[in-house]
Copies of this chain bind each other. A is one copy, B any other.
Amino acid sequence: MIIDIHGHYTTAPAGLAAYRRRQLEQVDSPTKGTIDVTDDEIKETIENGQLRQQRERGTDIALFSPRAGGMEHHVGNALVSRYWSETCNELIHRVCTLFPASFIGVCQLPQSPGVSPANCRDELERCVAQLGFVACNLNPDPSGGYWTDPPMTDRYWYPLYEKMVELDVPAMIHVSSSCNPNFHATGAHYLNGDLSVFMQCIVNPQLFKDFPTLRFVIPHGGGAVPYHWGRYRGIALEMGRPELTDFLMDNIYFDTCVYHQPGIETLFRSVPIDNIIFASEMIGAVRGKDPKTGRFFDDTKPYIDNIDFLSEVDRQKLFEDNARRVYPRVDRLLSGSATE
């Protein structure tokens, strides 16, 4: 079985954007309102989009969440963020209900700059307990490129972590769009978020002592982390930390969203196989085909197939077992014991 842990509903029907426009028109007096999207519209976008590509690529199931760039936690206040997150998550739930064999839900959280992450507990609980979701996307920078909230190792975030641990769900660390003209979203802000949070976890190792079962999945192949694995090892050792593999690897995982052969090989040559989980972020940041190969840039499996130093055991971990381990609710869903 091949599980892709990183997909967003980037092809949502136009009704979602219309909902968002109406929401922004009344941004100072928010109501939840309703969304005008039919099941047929959902089916059409999925069948001609993600599901078709899953079939073409041989992926069995994707962890599916609202569009990351659309989370826009900086827009409006916490109530706007709550209604928007609820609506986006409910749309994901409809996708997963219509295609239960192909998609499992991951939720957006109603974050807002300067507002305690405790504010996200209820929506996380609703998504997991009522909608069957298995994880959340957690934005380390709700300001959208100005980084005004505390580092993710700060106690500021602990109320949310308590709920994540209680529900046994990991978070994918994933920024949203960037309002800062210095940071292109997918070409800079995303990667900056990834590597900055990894470094925060080196700076303050107390976080995972306080929450030994807390799990972060760092997307986009870990930003620059595997490429600079020597740099991170060296900085950590100089700070008196143990080897990275001796104090972070029960809590931090990387996806495989790296879109060329040398890059993805560096990931596998640097990070332990138990900490890498297959993903593509299809349909996402890079949608075109590589004119040099004729394949989609984000079709990550052929790069991995080309790596000659991975064993069958490694591949089984990468494509399935690691996902089941890091996302225990995926394992339970696939084992048919989700209602236990």
Binding site for B on A (CB under 8 A): 140-141, 145-147, 149-151, 154, 180-184, 186-188, 191-192, 195-196, 199-200, 202-203, 220-221, 223-224, 226-235, 237-238, 258-263, 265-266, 269-270, 285-288, 290-291, 297-298
- CB-based contact B237/A291 at 8 Å: yes
List of B residues within 8 angstroms of A233 by Cβ: 259-260, 290, 297
Residues B226 and A199 in contact, CB atoms below 8 Å apart = no
Nearest to A232 among chain B residues (CB) is B187
* Cβ of A93 to closest chain B Cβ, rounded Å: 30
* Cross-chain contact B270 with A228 (CB below 8 angstroms): no
Q: Do residues A234 and B195 form an inter-chain contact, with CB atoms below 8 A?
A: no
Q: Whole-angstrom distance from the CB of A284 to the nearest CB of chain B?
A: 10
Which of A140, A200, A230 neighbours the largest number of chain B CB atoms within 10 Å of its CB?
Answer: A230
CA distance A261 to B145 in the complex (A): 32
CB-based contact B285/A228 at 8 Å? no
**Nearest B residue (CB) for A149:** B182
Q: Is B229 in contact with A221, judged by CB distance below 8 angstroms? A: no
Bound form: Cα–Cα A141–B146 in Å: 12
Q: Is the CB of A187 within 8 A of B235?
A: yes
Residues of B within 8 A of A231 (CB): 186-187, 220, 258-260, 263, 285-286, 297
Decide: B266 and A227 in contact? CB cutoff 8 A: yes
Shortest Cβ gap from A219 to chain B (Å): 12
Whole-angstrom distance between the alpha carbons of A223 and B191 in the complex? Answer: 10
Given A147-B145, A228-B263, A229-B263, decide whether A188 and B184 contact each other with a Cβ distance below 8 A.
Answer: no
Task: Specify the chain B residue showing the minimal Cβ separation from A140.
Answer: B182
Which residues of chain B come closer than 8 Å to A260, judged between CB atoms? 228-231, 233, 270
Residues from chain B with Cβ under 8 Å of A188 in the complex: 192, 195-196, 199-200
Known: A145-B147, A200-B184, A224-B224. A258 touches B230 (CB 8 A): yes
Q: How long is the Cα–Cα vector from A192 to B191 in the complex, in angstroms?
A: 8
Measured between beta carbons, the chain B residues less than 8 angstroms from A141 are 182
- Which residues on the B side are within 8 Å of A229 (C-beta)? 260, 262-263
The answer to whether B182 touches A196 (Cβ under 8 A) is yes
Pair A262/B258 contact, Cβ less than 8 Å? no
B contact residues around A181 at 8 Å (CB): 150-151, 154
A-B contact pairs, 5 of them (CB 8 A): A182-B196, A192-B192, A192-B196, A228-B258, A230-B261
List, in ascending order, chain B residues with CB within 8 A of A288's CB: 234, 237-238
Of B200, B287, B290, the residue contacting A182 (CB under 8 A) is: B200
Closest to A152 in B: B182
**A199→B297 CA distance, assembly (Å):** 18
Q: In the complex, what's the smallest C-beta–C-beta distance from A119 to chain B, in angstroms?
A: 20
Q: Which listed residue (B150, B191, B223, B226) contacts A263, Cβ 8 A? A: B226
User: A259 and B286 in contact (CB under 8 A), knowing A182-B147, A183-B196?
Assistant: no
Residue of B with least CB distance to A257: B231
* 19 other A-B residue contacts (CB within 8 Å) besides A191-B224, A262-B266, A262-B270: A147-B180, A151-B182, A183-B199, A187-B203, A187-B235, A188-B200, A192-B192, A221-B227, A224-B227, A227-B263, A229-B262, A230-B260, A230-B290, A231-B258, A231-B297, A233-B290, A234-B286, A238-B286, A266-B266
